[in-house]
């Protein structure tokens, strides 16, 4: 893997705290995937065992939401850029995808499969501990934000726009 890939991995929150030699080991598990604009990387509900890091380009993260008339439609909840990751729950095993992810433009992704990460973590427990601890912190943050949203303490940007 190139120095640019390692630099991008260094920016990813779930890899924070790994030493350079450990990042090199993580990078050794990764493959590059180039996708054209508007390509669906995966859909909400799909099974998956890959973690993705945006290397070049950007992706839109979308969930299915119910409209006031009772129909369902996709809503973009985030746009991710180089150094940001998605699909990280795959490292915990067995979870269905919680969103649909689509390339906004021609995009290069760094892809890591969970079984290979598991094997690396078995051989290098420090890597496994750091990544899983960071992943737990990230998921706890997202869960807390979701709870606040469900309780009405915060609003999606789109909620405010719909009331005007």
CA 152 – CA 146 distance, rounded (Å): 10
Cα separations in angstroms, 66 against 73, 98, 163: 6, 15, 16
Q: For the chain, how many structural domains are there in total?
A: 1
CATH number at residue 102: 2.60.120.10
pLDDT value at residue 142: 76
Round to whole Å and give the CA distance between 31 and 42.
Answer: 17
Residue 139 is encoded by which pair of tokens? 């998921």
Per-residue pLDDT of the chain (164 residues; tens, 9 = 90+): 578 888 888 889 999 999 999 999 999 999 999 999 999 999 999 999 999 999 999 999 999 888 788 888 888 988 999 989 999 888 888 678 989 999 999 999 999 999 999 999 999 999 999 999 999 998 888 778 777 766 665 555 555 444 44
* Global pTM value: 0.82
3-state helix, strand, coil in the chain (%, to 5): 40, 25, 30
Helix axis angle for 20-27 and 3-11, nearest 10°, is 110
The answer to whether the CB of 35 falls within 8 A of the CB of 106 is: yes
Domain that holds residue 111: 3-162
Which pLDDT belongs to residue 153? 58
Give bridge partners of residue 56 from the DSSP assignment.
108
Residues whose CB is less than 8 angstroms from the CB of residue 69 and which lie 6 or more positions away in sequence, other chains included: none
């Amino acid at each position: 893997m190139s120095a640019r890939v390692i630099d991008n991995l260094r920016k990813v929150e779930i890899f924070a705290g790994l030493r350079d030699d450990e990042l090199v080991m993580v990078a050794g598990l990764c493959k590059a995937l180039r996708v054209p604009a508007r390509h669906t990387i995966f859909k909400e509900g799909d099974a998956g065992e890959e973690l993705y890091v945006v290397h070049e380009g950007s992706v839109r993260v979308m969930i299915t939401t119910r409209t006031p008339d009772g129909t369902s439609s996709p809503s973009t909840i985030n746009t991710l850029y180089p150094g940001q990751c998605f699909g990280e729950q795959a490292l915990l095993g067995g979870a269905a995808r919680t969103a649909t992810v689509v390339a906004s433009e021609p995009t290069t992704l760094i892809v890591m499969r969970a079984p290979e990460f598991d094997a690396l973590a078995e051989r290098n427990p420090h890597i496994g501990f750091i990544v899983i601890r960071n992943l737990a912190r990230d998921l706890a943050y997202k869960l807390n934000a979701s709870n606040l949203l469900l309780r009405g303490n915060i609003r999606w940007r789109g909620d405010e726009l719909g009331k005007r």
